[in-house]
Amino acid sequence: MSQEKKCMGKKDTCKCKCKYLKKCKKKSLKDYIKVTLEVPQPQGVKNVPAHMYFYIHKSFTDKQQGRIKTAISALLSHWYHHFNEKWAGGTNSGTSKLALCTNPYATKKLKPVWSKSSVPNGIAATNLAMNQFTQLIRDNGFRKSPPATIDPRSSTTVHAPAAPTKRRIPLSLQINPKQLDSSAFTDLKITGSMLHTWLHRAGWTDPKTTSYFISECPMCVMRNLKPKNPDVLDSNSYKFFD
């Protein structure tokens, strides 16, 4: 198979990056608003950029843009607390609340598509995911990945394809504006949905149902890191995933 055909089969990594595609052009940002978000600096993590940069499509209302920015900042806060709790006073042997919440429930598809090593449990999967988030944050903040654009979509909630590699992956995604206007789509739900999407960008894949890491970790965020309530169906949460 030619290099060009291989590249054509990987839409996500080819955009503005594959030298074999003559028609590849950079995406115009004239219809986007640049948003700069501060990146918290967790203990034990080096080379973290001070800021991340996103380009939100101008069709989103001010309120919708505010909810998107709040969700990303909340997600960065979970990433920050994960590493601070894992740092455990300098031992780096602790377990974060997010990992502890995820561990009892996540038993399937614990590793991303690019990983060649086995991942034994939900704690290890959460640690690996947060490490990969660090890479995504660095690539974004230091401008090593393509611009992270946020576009509207007419169906589902928040969407992005799974990335096949670890580096220079743009945190681009699509969000349904109608969902952002819905009172049922609470701040916890949008943050969990954003986490689900970032896990796709970090290399994890669906199914987005019970027991799968890509669902259980975000559902923990939706529950504010509390145990499951047996009277509440998981589908009430993962229906917001895509």
Residues with Cβ within 8 Å of 114's Cβ and at least 6 positions away in sequence, in order, are: 164, 165, 166, 203
Sheet holding 158-159, edge to edge: 32-38, 51-57, 148-152, 173-175, 158-159
pLDDT value at residue 23: 37
48: its two tokens: 């973290």
Tell me: pLDDT of 161 over 60: yes
Residue 11 is predicted with a pLDDT of 43
pLDDT, mean of residues 164-183? 97
* Domain count within the chain: 1
Round to whole Å and give the CA distance between 167 and 145. 8
Per residue in 2-20, pLDDT (tens digit) is 333 344 344 444 444 443 2
Asked whether residue 108 is domain-assigned, the answer is yes
Residue 82 structural domain: 29-238
Tell me what pLDDT residue 25 has: 53
Q: Considering only CA atoms, which of 148, 153, 141, 151 is closest in space to residue 163?
A: 148
Query: pLDDT class for 81, splitting at 50, 70, 90?
Result: very high
Token digits for 84? Answer: 């601070």
Query: What pLDDT band is residue 90 in, cutting at 50, 70 and 90?
Result: very high
> Are the CB atoms for 79 and 42 separated by under 8 Å?
yes
The pLDDT confidence band at residue 156, using thresholds 50, 70 and 90, is: confident
Residue at 4 is within a domain: no
pLDDT in tens, 191-227: 999 999 999 999 999 999 999 999 999 999 999 999 9
Residues 57-75 have a mean pLDDT of 98
pTM surpassing 0.75?
A: yes
pLDDT tens readout for residues 119-136 = 999 999 999 999 999 999
pLDDT at 167: 96
pLDDT, tens digit (0-9, with 9 covering 90-100), for 36-60: 999 999 999 999 999 999 999 999 9
Q: Note whether residue 9 is domain-resident.
A: no
Q: In this structure, is the dihedral angle defined by the CA atoms of residues 75, 79, 81 and 82, taken in order, positive or negative? A: positive
What's the one-letter identity of residue 229? Answer: N
pLDDT exceeds cutoff 60 at 155: yes
Q: What does the pLDDT read at residue 160?
A: 96
Question: Is residue 166 domain-resident?
Answer: yes
In percent, the amount of the chain with pLDDT more than 70 equals 89
Mean pLDDT calculated for residue range 128-151: 98
Peptide bond into 207 cis (omega under 30): yes
The token duo for 175 is 């969000």
Asked whether residue 18 is domain-assigned, the answer is no
> Is 24 inside any structural domain?
no
Task: Give the chain's mean pLDDT.
Answer: 91
Residue 12, domain member (yes or no): no
Is 72 a member of any domain? yes
Separation CA 140–CA 86 (nearest Å): 24
